[in-house]
Amino acid sequence: MPHRYTGLVEAYRNRLPISAEARAISLGEGNTPLIELDNLVRDVGFGGRILVKYEGLNPTGSFKDRGMTVAVTQAVDEGARAVICASTGNTSAAAAAYAARAGITALVVVPDGKIAAGKLAQAVMHGAVIVQIEGNFDAGMRLVKEVGETSPVTIVNSINPYRLQGQKTAAFEIVDALGAAPDYHCLPVGNAGNITAHWIGYTEAIGQGTPACAFCAGDCRAPHPAMTDRRPVMLGFQASGSAPFMRGGPVADPDTVATAIRIGDPQSWEPAHVVQKESGGWFDELSDEEILDTQAKLAEREGVFCEPASAASLAGALRDIKRGKIADGSTVVCTLTGHGLKDPEIAMRGALDHIVKVPAERGAIADLLAKKMA
């Protein structure tokens, strides 16, 4: 039987709070690979498994597509003609693409500078109205909430509960792929929507509800059949210059090379604490250097290219394995939230050290090859 995968809304319609008749606005998102890191596991001498959920392979190159397909499907079903978001880049790329697909307007509010080139290029190409404010993401978020209260436009940031409903499907895919939930699940944390969404997914996968879910608030009256009998310990990693969960409150002037998670005032503060408590997990922080080192290591040793923010999940996992906080022998899943090509400037910083200039002659190439293989 021919089978064309047509995206999350069709794949998980019975587990999503959208009407049976709603036309799915999809780009074939989801169904991303779960890649086993054989080389790095050997390098660090870990007796368990590390797998990365490569969300950078979604249509616009980040996990945001999971949330956006559901949020835009619902918005269009309700008759919306425009969507709006504040964004460090990936949400705006996804909002722009899905709005284009739906034939509605996207207005995206981005910080002044500090937005990766690839992400801005996407918003431009998909025809979004791009508003650059003199302020950071948190200021943009405040502005978008104000506009949402007075103008006929749907907010598609993760405060829109349909976003988290879409993003929870990543947990279903992981449980499907492994046959059970992993022991640990590591994620980079900015607004903390994604870690909350994963917890909702894992909780539904054991046939229950959680207070972190805006739809059932822990009192799920129509649980689905259990797919697994356990949930992972959830670990959330932030960049040190932008780590409100580690400081115990908002950070006024967040800064990090991982611009995607340059957020000082997370919107899902309470639900993320529910996740931490219910799962027995923890938050931690990583320096920019640790994040970039891990991004490079993953690319060089495993052939997987993620953007800096995404590398925080793996950097944290590797450090906690080394420290013995993650038990040897466990199965660890790290979400790689966005593709490395999103942020070419970061990748190209070390390019001059990698590029060798030689005359266009066979001998020069042969010499280089011989040197490399020696």
Number of residues that bind ligand F0G (CB under 6 A): 23
Q: Which of 32, 73, 88, 294 binds ligand F0G (CB under 6 A)?
A: 88
Binding of residue 91 to ligand F0G (CB under 6 A): yes
Binding of residue 191 to ligand F0G (CB under 6 A): yes
Nearer of residues 90 and 154 to ligand F0G, judged by Cβ: 90
Task: Work out how close the CB of 279 gets to ligand F0G at its nearest, in angstroms, rounded to a whole number.
Answer: 15
Q: Which of 158, 160, 228, 295 binds ligand F0G (CB under 6 A)?
A: 158
Q: Which of 309, 317, 321, 334 binds ligand F0G (CB under 6 A)?
A: 309
Binding of residue 30 to ligand F0G (CB under 6 A): no
Pairing of strands 154-155, 184-188: unpaired
Give the binding range for ligand F0G (CB under 6 A) out of 24-32, 85-93, 202-210, 223-231: 85-93
Distance CA 309, CA 342 (A): 11
Q: What is the DSSP string of 133-152?
A: ESS-HHHHHHHHHHHHHHSS
Give the binding range for ligand F0G (CB under 6 A) out of 7-15, 218-226, 303-311, 350-358: 303-311
Task: Work out how close the CB of 247 gets to ligand F0G at its nearest, in angstroms, rounded to a whole number.
Answer: 16
Binding of residue 260 to ligand F0G (CB under 6 A): yes
Nearer of residues 46 and 141 to ligand F0G, judged by Cβ: 141
Nearer of residues 73 and 158 to ligand F0G, judged by Cβ: 158
CA 256 vs CA 125, 150, 253, 264, 294: distances in Å: 27, 33, 10, 11, 15
Nearer of residues 87 and 203 to ligand F0G, judged by Cβ: 87
Task: Work out how close the CB of 354 gets to ligand F0G at its nearest, in angstroms, rounded to a whole number.
Answer: 24
Nearer of residues 99 and 309 to ligand F0G, judged by Cβ: 309
Nearer of residues 16 and 197 to ligand F0G, judged by Cβ: 197
Q: Which of 307, 334, 340, 343 binds ligand F0G (CB under 6 A)?
A: 307
Enumerate the H helices of 45-160 as residue ranges.
64-77, 90-102, 117-125, 137-150
Nearest Cα residue to 111 out of 306, 239, 252, 259: 259
Task: Work out how close the CB of 260 gets to ligand F0G at its nearest, in angstroms, rounded to a whole number.
Answer: 3
Give the binding range for ligand F0G (CB under 6 A) out of 33-41, 169-177, 185-193, 198-206: 185-193
Q: Which of 32, 87, 154, 203 binds ligand F0G (CB under 6 A)?
A: 87
Compute the 3-state secondary structure of the chain and give helix, strand, coil in percent, each to the nearest 5.
45, 15, 40
Binding of residue 238 to ligand F0G (CB under 6 A): no
Which of 326-331's residues contact partners 24+ apart within 8 Å by CB, and which partners?
Answer: 326/48, 326/183, 326/184, 327/48, 327/183, 328/46, 328/47, 328/48, 329/47, 329/48, 330/48, 330/49, 330/182, 330/183, 330/184, 331/48, 331/49, 331/51, 331/178, 331/182, 331/183, 331/184
* Structure letter (DSSP) for residue 338: B
Nearest Cα residue to 295 out of 336, 253, 235: 336
Nearer of residues 46 and 304 to ligand F0G, judged by Cβ: 304
Q: Are 76 and 176 in contact (CB under 8 A)?
A: no
Q: What is the DSSP string of 238-255?
A: EETTB-HHHHTS--SS--
Interface with ligand F0G (CB under 6 A): 62, 64, 87-91, 158, 188-194, 260-261, 263, 307, 309-310, 337-338
